[in-house]
Amino acid sequence: MLEGKTAVVTGASRGIGRAIAQKLASQGASVVINYNGSEEKALETQQKIQENGGTASIYRCDVSDYGQCEKFIQDVILEYGRLDILVNNAGITKDGLLMKMSEEDFDRVIDINLKGAFNTIRFASRQMLKQRSGRIINMSSVSGVTGNAGQANYAASKAGLIGLTKAAARELASRGITVNAIAPGFIETDMTDALSDKVKEAATAQIPLGRFGKPEQVAAAAAFLASEEAGYITGQVLHVDGGMVM
């Protein structure tokens, strides 16, 4: 279904990004696994894809760094000659109450989660414009839709991603490029593993389906938005959250 297409997935060394990389590769895309710190995990993602007969390469790039992103995207285009799908999935949390939050923790979360997506879109969209087609998917969060106490930086970054998604969708629509966001709820990854049992219990109580989601369930939504069939959907936020936002 995605044969001949090149897909970049940021933050694909672990968690949701890894599941998306595996899903897109299983559909025939050549996948670029981006990571920043976890080289071994990125190699593991690549190995899993190759074991299933897929094609994948790994690229280190700190998405918060504009210059690194320019080189990253240029190198991908040199290697594959095209870029069809960009999934801005890389993200971090640095939680804390607003009044105690350091400037550094605010900036780092915004720089990776929000500016990181701007950086890659800035360079990837140039190639997609030439191709007159493309799919851009930004990983937002339920936090960016409803807000969440203790996550002022994270919620701001994820709400910002929704604005970025809609502005980019309007700018790029005339050239056949769609831009959408996914807003997951609580998904079982390292990010949510770090939460205390008490927080996990309180979170579960807010989920109509009564359980955390799996990375593969977010990957299925990403694969749909990346597909040809989703070509008439742009500027939308797809909630994959067990019913938290409805």
Tokens 């609580």 identify what position? 186
Residues touching ligand NAP, count (CB under 6 A): 29
Looking at beta carbons only, is 38 or 146 nearer to ligand NAP?
A: 38
The smaller minimum CB distance to ligand NAP, of residues 171 and 188, is found at 188
Applying CB under 6 A, does 242 fall inside the site for ligand NAP?
no
Copy the structure tokens of residue 27.
Answer: 């559909």
Which residues in 108-127 contact ligand NAP (CB under 6 A)? Answer: 112
- Using CB under 6 A, pick the residue from 21, 90, 169, 222 that binds ligand NAP: 90
Query: Mind spelling out the 3-state secondary structure of 158-212?
Result: HHHHHHHHHHHHHHHHHHCEEEEEEEECCECCHHHHCCCHHHHHHHHHCCCCCCC
- Please tell me whether residue 68 binds ligand NAP under the rule CB under 6 A: no
Residue type, 145: V
**232 belongs to the catalytic site:** no
**Contact 221/182 with Cβ under 8 angstroms?**
yes
Tell whether residue 11 is a contact of ligand NAP (CB under 6 A). yes
Helix, strand, coil fractions of the chain, as percent rounded to 5: 50, 15, 30
The smaller minimum CB distance to ligand NAP, of residues 151 and 234, is found at: 151
Local structure of residue 113 (DSSP, 8 states): I
Residue among 7, 9, 13, 46 that touches ligand NAP (CB under 6 A): 13
10 binds ligand NAP (CB under 6 A): yes
Counting Cβ atoms within 10 Å, is residue 69 exposed (0-12), middle (13-18) or buried (19+)?
buried
Residues at the interface with ligand NAP (CB under 6 A)? 10-11, 13-17, 34-38, 62-64, 89-92, 112, 139, 141, 184, 186-187, 189-192
Positions marked catalytic: 154
